[in-house]
A and B are shown apart, each in its own frame.
Chain A
C-alpha cells in the first residue's frame, strides 16, 4: 500500500496570502489528522476528520480550517498568512477513529511565509 502523501512538499508564500495543503491518506483509512510542527512549539494538533466530519479541533485561530472529502482525502486551508505560520504541517491517517489505531504520518508540507 502507498503511504500517506502530502502535496506540495514545499511552499513559499507572503504575509496576507492564503494557502491550501492536501493530504491523501492510506487507502481504506477514514481518519485524517493534521499537526503543525515548529521549533518553538513542537508538534501541535490542528484538527481531525473522520468520514467527512470534523471530530476534534485544536487551539488554533479560525484562519486555520480543513475539510475531508468522500474519498477520505483532506485539505487544510490557512487564510491571511502570518510569519508565525511558517512550519512543517504533518498529516496522519488511521483506519478508524480511536486511540488504539496507529496513525501513519506523511512526510509533511514545509510552509515558509515571507
Chain B
C-alpha cells in the first residue's frame, strides 16, 4: 500500500525567509512524486513533479524539490518566500503504472509580513 506523510500541518514563516515543507512516502513499487498548491477556494495547481532523471526538480514560482530514494523523501523548498505563497501545499505519489493519486494531508504555509 502507498502512503504519504507531510510532517508539518502548519508552517509559519516570515516574508523573504527560506522554507522547507517535508514529505515522506511509503510504497512497495515505483512511484512518481508531485507537489501541488491550493489557494483558497480553488483547485490544485501543479508546482513540480519527479518522474525520473535528476533528483533535483525545479518548479513554478521559484520552488524546487529533491527526491531522496534512500530516505523516501521529497521535500519542497523555496529560498525566499513571498506573501503570495500563502496557501495549502500537498505532496502526492502515483504508481508508475496507475492513475490514482495518494495525497498527504497537506501543509498550510503562512507567510508573515
**Which A residues lie at the B interface, using CB under 8 A?**
4, 31, 33, 35, 42-45, 48, 50, 55-56, 58, 90, 92, 94, 97-108
Further 16 A-B residue pairs, CB within 8 A, beyond A43-B101, A99-B97: A31-B99, A33-B99, A42-B104, A43-B92, A44-B103, A45-B102, A56-B98, A90-B43, A98-B97, A99-B32, A99-B94, A99-B95, A99-B99, A102-B46, A103-B99, A104-B46
B45 CB–A CB distance under 8 Å? yes
**Which B residues lie at the A interface, using CB under 8 A?**
31-32, 36, 41-46, 49, 51, 90, 92, 94-106
* Separation of A105 and B90 alpha carbons in the complex (Å): 13
Q: Which residues of B contact A107 (CB under 8 A)?
A: 41-43
* Separation of A98 and B30 alpha carbons in the complex (Å): 13
> How many whole Å from A26's CB to the nearest CB in chain B?
12
B106's partner among A42, A48, A101, A103 (CB-CB below 8 A) is A42
A33's partner among B32, B100, B102 (CB-CB below 8 A) is B100
Q: Which residues of B contact A108 (CB under 8 A)?
A: 42-43
